[in-house]
């Protein structure tokens, strides 16, 4: 599991925290208030055109561009990347509001999300006074005709003849369309422009995969571009961004659709009951039992730990020197700790009970070699290989000869860990020291061809399941989808 407990943080709060840090970092030139308009990609650079709030254009020349500019990404459009997918047959009316009327809002107890059997959804944004209600509407619904106060009361099941909810302020209203989209490519043909986050994939919010997948994308391409800029990251390392992250995006958006179907089925069950779901009758009891059984047998939305933590990358920069058929099974619901090359290496507390093995890893763009052998034989081999290279690969060497529990969880005497905490290579089970550490470093950083790729790409171990949500295999041009909110355009 993660080194630290899960936490949730509103994007509004996170951005307010992040912005001054960006502005204060001497390595970052920030241009808030400007819009990206277009780019021209050449063999050795990219020239971007930006527009400020006064309508003046500005050009920026850079080695690379990473487009994190949302669902309607102009960066994606500039390099001609198409999207596959489409919208679900419906829309949602969003109401973001303030209220301290907790007698009504917490009638069911304190909560984060409540999915009502009517299709309404309410989210507690700060456990205090900020809430978001989502109301199912038809795709021809008009925002100007929607009454947010009425819909909030209806969603909460308030009998207007007996009581009313005190709403302090309506902050935002909009109509949005749940979409399932995946970019056909994550990078340009020349390899200098990349897309990340909603620019590369869009999913239904169920499962909470949107921002989490986006952060994973940006972290992945961020350290790889940094390696290229510093001279030790080869073209294969940049190509591996698409090879590694696109399958993750495909699986995550598909699962978000599968989770959505669970809720839709609940709404359909409730609708067929013609109001009996809330009655103390024999029919009401039967409907509620049917709903309960459906949710018990389809409870993956909050329990897909394998999906969230257990994904394994397969690309030309993953060095596999063992039989691919021995790869541990991948289960969407269960996380199996493993240092199989491509996997996120597992957190484990060291014997002092305080420090995690993660606390010893290199920082920023540093790689880490963890060596459990008694004499540090692997460290010596990799230090020698590192010294022989023309370009320095930053590696932190961690020697843990007295950590038998961590060694047991990590399965091997030595593991090479990338800056993103995924295993690039691990030693053999027998402790064989007859290997080419220099070739491993060159392959893992994309500077040499991967002679181990055939093993890696063979069938075996983790397999991507068949897509279960049909929106992922349709194709509707996003610019022609009706009822898109501002953040989707």
Per-residue pLDDT tens digits for 112-131: 899 998 999 999 998 889 99
Q: What is the mean pLDDT of residues 404-433?
A: 95
DSSP state of 435: S
Band (271; pLDDT cuts 50, 70, 90): confident
Residue 275 CA to residue 278 CA, distance in Å, equals 6
Tens of pLDDT, residue by residue over 442-474, are 999 999 987 755 445 444 444 444 555 544 445
3-state secondary structure of 85: strand
Query: Under 8 Å CB-to-CB from 302, ≥6 apart: which residues?
Result: none
**Least confident stretch, 36-40, 142-146, 356-360, 478-482:** 478-482
Cross-strand partners of 179: 87
3-state secondary structure of 95: strand
Tens of pLDDT, residue by residue over 366-408, are 999 999 999 999 999 999 999 999 989 999 999 999 999 999 9
- Which part of the chain is CATH 3.30.9.10? 91-176
3-state secondary structure of 130: strand
Q: What is the mean pLDDT of residues 21-34?
A: 94
- Which part of the chain is CATH 3.50.50.60? 11-86+182-259+474-488
- Which part of the chain is CATH 3.40.30.120? 312-457
Residue 218 CA to residue 199 CA, distance in Å, equals 11
Band (274; pLDDT cuts 50, 70, 90): confident
3-state secondary structure of 143: helix
Residue 257 CA to residue 469 CA, distance in Å, equals 5
Q: What CATH number belongs to 312-457?
A: 3.40.30.120
Band (482; pLDDT cuts 50, 70, 90): low
DSSP state of 466: P
Tens of pLDDT, residue by residue over 45-99, are 999 999 999 999 999 999 999 999 999 999 999 999 999 988 888 899 999 999 9
For residues 488 and 405, which has the higher predicted lDDT (pLDDT)?
A: 405
- Cβ neighbours of 55 (radius 10 Å): 6
Q: How far apart are the first and last CA of the chain?
A: 36
CA within 13 Å, CB half, 85: 27
The radius of gyration of the chain from alpha carbons, rounded to an integer in Å, stands at 25
How confident is the prediction for the chain on average, in pLDDT?
A: 90
Q: Say yes or no to pLDDT of 168 above 50.
A: yes
**Can you give the pLDDT at residue 76?**
97
Provide the CATH topology of domain 91-176: D-Amino Acid Oxidase; Chain A, domain 2 (3.30.9)
- Cβ neighbours of 331 (radius 10 Å): 14
**Can you give the pLDDT at residue 460?**
40
Residue 423: alpha-carbon gap to chain centroid: 19
Tens of pLDDT, residue by residue over 240-255, are 999 999 999 999 999 9
171 near 96, Cβ under 8 Å? yes
**Can you give the pLDDT at residue 483?**
62
Superfamily classification of domain 11-86+182-259+474-488: FAD/NAD(P)-binding domain (3.50.50.60)
Query: Under 8 Å CB-to-CB from 49, ≥6 apart: which residues?
Result: 36, 37, 38, 39, 57, 58, 59
Q: Say yes or no to pLDDT of 185 above 90.
A: yes
Q: What is the mean pLDDT of residues 7-33?
A: 90
**Can you give the pLDDT at residue 464?**
44
Residue 128 CA to residue 352 CA, distance in Å, equals 39
Selection from 343, 376, 371, 373 nearest residue 357 by Cα? 371
452 near 238, Cβ under 8 Å? no
Residue 56 CA to residue 483 CA, distance in Å, equals 31
Residue 42 CA to residue 432 CA, distance in Å, equals 46
């Amino acid at each position: 599991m993660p080194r630290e407990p899960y936490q949730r943080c509103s994007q509004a709060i996170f951005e307010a925290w992040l912005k001054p840090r960006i502005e204060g970092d001497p390595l970052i030139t920030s241009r808030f208030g400007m819009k990206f308009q277009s780019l021209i990609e050449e063999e050795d650079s990219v020239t971007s055109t930006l527009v400020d709030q006064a309508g003046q254009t500005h050009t920026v020349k850079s080695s690379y561009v990473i487009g994190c500019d949302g669902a309607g990404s102009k960066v994606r459009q500039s390099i001609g990347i198409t999207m596959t997918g489409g919208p679900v047959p419906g829309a949602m009316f969003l109401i973001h509001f303030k209220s301290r009327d907790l007698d009504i809002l917490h009638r069911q107890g304190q909560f984060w999300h409540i999915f009502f059997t009517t299709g309404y959804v309410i989210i507690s944004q700060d456990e205090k006074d900020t809430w978001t209600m989502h109301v199912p509407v038809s795709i021809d619904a008009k925002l100007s005709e929607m009454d947010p106060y009425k819909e909030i009361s209806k969603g909460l099941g308030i009998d207007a003849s007996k009581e009313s909810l005190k709403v302090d302020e309506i902050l935002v209203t909009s109509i949005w369309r749940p979409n399932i989209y995946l970019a056909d490519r994550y990078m340009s043909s020349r390899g200098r422009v990349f897309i990340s986050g909603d620019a590369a994939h869009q999913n239904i919010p169920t499962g909470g995969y949107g921002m989490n997948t986006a952060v994973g994308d940006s972290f992945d391409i961020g350290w790889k571009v940094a390696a290229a800029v510093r001279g030790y990251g080869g073209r294969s390392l940049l190509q591996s961004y698409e090879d590694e992250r696109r399958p993750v995006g495909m699986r995550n958006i598909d699962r978000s659709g599968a989770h959505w179907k669970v809720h839709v089925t609940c709404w359909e069950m409730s609708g067929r009951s013609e109001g009996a779901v809330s009655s103390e009758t024999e029919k009401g009891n039967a409907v509620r039992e049917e709903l309960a059984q459906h949710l018990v047998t389809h409870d993956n939305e909050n329990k897909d730990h394998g999906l969230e933590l257990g994904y394994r990358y397969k690309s030309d920069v993953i060095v596999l020197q063992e039989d691919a058929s021995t790869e541990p099974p991948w289960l969407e619901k269960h996380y199996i700790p493993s240092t199989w090359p491509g996997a996120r290496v597992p957190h484990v507390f060291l014997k002092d009970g305080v420090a995690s093995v993660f606390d010893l890893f290199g920082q920023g763009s540093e790689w880490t070699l963890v060596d459990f052998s008694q004499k540090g034989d692997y460290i010596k081999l990799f230090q020698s290989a590192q010294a022989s290279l023309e370009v320095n690969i930053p590696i932190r060497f961690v020697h843990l000869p007295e950590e038998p529990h961590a060694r047991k969880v990590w399965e091997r005497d030595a593991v090479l860990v990338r800056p993103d905490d995924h295993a690039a290579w691990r030693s053999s089970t027998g402790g064989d020291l007859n290997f080419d550490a220099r070739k491993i470093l060159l392959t893992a950083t994309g500077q040499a061809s991967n002679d181990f790729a055939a093993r890696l790409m063979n069938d075996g171990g983790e397999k991507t399941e068949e897509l279960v949500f049909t929106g992922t295999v349709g194709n509707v041009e996003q610019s022609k989808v009706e009822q898109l909110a501002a953040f989707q355009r």
